[in-house]
Amino acid sequence: MNKRHTFTAKAVLAGAAMMVGSSAVAQTELDFWSWRQEDVAAYNEIIAAFEETHPDIKVTYTAHPATEYNTIIATALAAGEGPDIIHTRSYGGLEVLAKPGYLEPLDEQVDMSLIGDVAKIGTTLRADGHVYAVPFASQTVLVFYNTDIFAAHGLTPPETWDEFKAVATQLKEAGVIPLANGSAEGWMLEIMSGALLPNFYGSEFFGEVTSGATDFEDPRFVGALEKMAELKEFMPDGYQGVDYATMKQLFASGAAAMFVGGSFEIPGFRDAGVNFDIIAGPAAEAGGERMVATWLDGGYGVNAASENKEAALEFARFTASQEFGQMLTDKLGNISPIEGAVSSDPTLAKISELQGASTPYIMLVAYRFNTPTGSTLIQNGLQEMFAGSKTPAEVAHDVSEGIKASE
């Protein structure tokens, strides 16, 4: 949709529709695009709260398929079109939109004093240091488990890798799928790796590999991949054809007892009526490190070519407010980066506690800036590993060489 062509007509029609007594109130219409299809109802509620205090602005939220969103938004912006408000990805995903000038720099136009510097790294363009989107939410990779199934089989949440495999074995012998995760979609294998690998390669690895002190052929990383490969026997039958939707359905229906996913899954599992709890990925051994991987999930940007830029900036200011942060926490079940947004939800409180021992979600945070991205490399490699066509060492080699070639 091209605002240059539709703005005048929209303004006239909106003005006619907003007649109050003998005066007309002009209403600016903003389009807001996102990939968060599961959040449509919640965003509409949040938008309604904004519109109550901004009766001259109407916001329409459109959610596109997550796997197609990057292409959809990039294509629209390259054509000089697209929405006024853009739900951006973070880190490298942000840079591909900000670097060509598609996004409006916000740090001098939006008060982000309630948002910490670490969160803003994910929406900052490295080339000029400007912030191009208001940070959205932090996400955490976790292991979900069905509390009813665990209770029925007398199981306690595993703390170590050996305990994790022992629990999975007992579930499998009882006719329950231990792990809902499949390998049809590479991005979900990357999620799985984010939950399981760090406790094997350790808290020092991220800093060492990003500084060049080591690479992904480091024995710690290869060994972590070898451990992850041990889970094949606990995944669903035909796991190579099990996609994201099927994974969630297996867990939500009670067919599978555990699911490795992001904290963004919480609202959906609750809506499905699942009795679940969460744990960090298991420690490599008793007393070992037990971390969760975290990342900034994205931000709210403004189309630099928008005909409605001032109204869009007003909405961006709203997304940086404590009011918005609280609504995002309460309605979306996400941990907001905005100071003062506190959740009474015990699960979110537990995630906040788990984040006290965290490591960056490595490929997203550090290696999504160049082509091929680290995520593409690890996703392809993990699919090959689970298909049996490559060994963990070969996957690590390909990842390491691919990242070096992209730098």
Residues 6+ apart with CB under 8 A from 260: 141, 142, 143, 144, 179, 181, 191, 192, 195, 196, 281
| Same structural domain, 104 and 91 | yes
Residue 279 near residue 142, CB atoms below 8 Å: yes
State which residues form the domain around 72. Answer: 3-137+297-338
| Same structural domain, 124 and 159 | no
| Same structural domain, 97 and 232 | no
Phi, psi for residue 28 in degrees, rounded to 5: -90, 130
Residue 329 lies in a domain: yes
Q: How many residues does the chain have?
A: 407
> What domain count does the chain have?
2
Query: What is d(CA 92, CA 1) in angstroms, rounded to the nearest whole number?
Result: 26
What average pLDDT does the segment 216-224 reach?
98
Per-residue b/e over 308-325, b at no fewer than 16 CB within 10 Å?
Answer: bbebbbbbbbbbbbebbb
Number of Cβ within 10 Å of residue 235's Cβ equals 22
| Same structural domain, 170 and 116 | no
How far are the Cα atoms of 90, 208, 210, 367, 406 from residue 213, in angstroms, in the given order?
26, 5, 8, 16, 18
pLDDT tens figures, 361-387: 999 999 999 999 999 999 999 999 999
Residue 84 near residue 30, CB atoms below 8 Å: yes
Residue 344 lies in a domain: no
Residue 343 lies in a domain: no
Q: What is the CA radius of gyration of the chain?
A: 22
What the block records as the tokens of 221 is 């990383």
Residue 367 near residue 374, CB atoms below 8 Å: yes
CATH of the domain at 318: 3.40.190.10
What average pLDDT does the segment 262-287 reach?
95
Residue 262 near residue 137, CB atoms below 8 Å: no
What the block records as the tokens of 38 is 């599961």
| Same structural domain, 206 and 84 | no
User: Global pTM?
Assistant: 0.81
Q: Which amino acid is at 267?
A: P
| Same structural domain, 249 and 123 | no
| Same structural domain, 103 and 171 | no
Residues 6+ apart with CB under 8 A from 121: 296
Sign of CA dihedral 39, 45, 48, 49: negative
Residue 78 lies in a domain: yes
Residue 303 lies in a domain: yes
pLDDT tens figures, 280-301: 999 999 999 999 999 999 999 9
In the chain, the percentage of residues whose pLDDT exceeds 90 is 87
**pLDDT band (50, 70, 90) for residue 19:** very low
Instruction: Evaluate if residue 263 carries a pLDDT over 60.
Output: yes
H-type helices in 285-373, by residue range? 309-319, 322-332, 346-354, 362-366
What integer pLDDT is reported at residue 356 of this predicted model?
A: 87
| Same structural domain, 110 and 190 | no
Cα 228 to its chain centre, rounded Å, is 21
| Same structural domain, 271 and 391 | yes
Q: Which strand (E) or helix (H) includes residue 179?
A: strand 177-179
Residue 106 near residue 135, CB atoms below 8 Å: no
What integer pLDDT is reported at residue 2 of this predicted model?
A: 45
Q: Which amino acid is at 204?
A: E
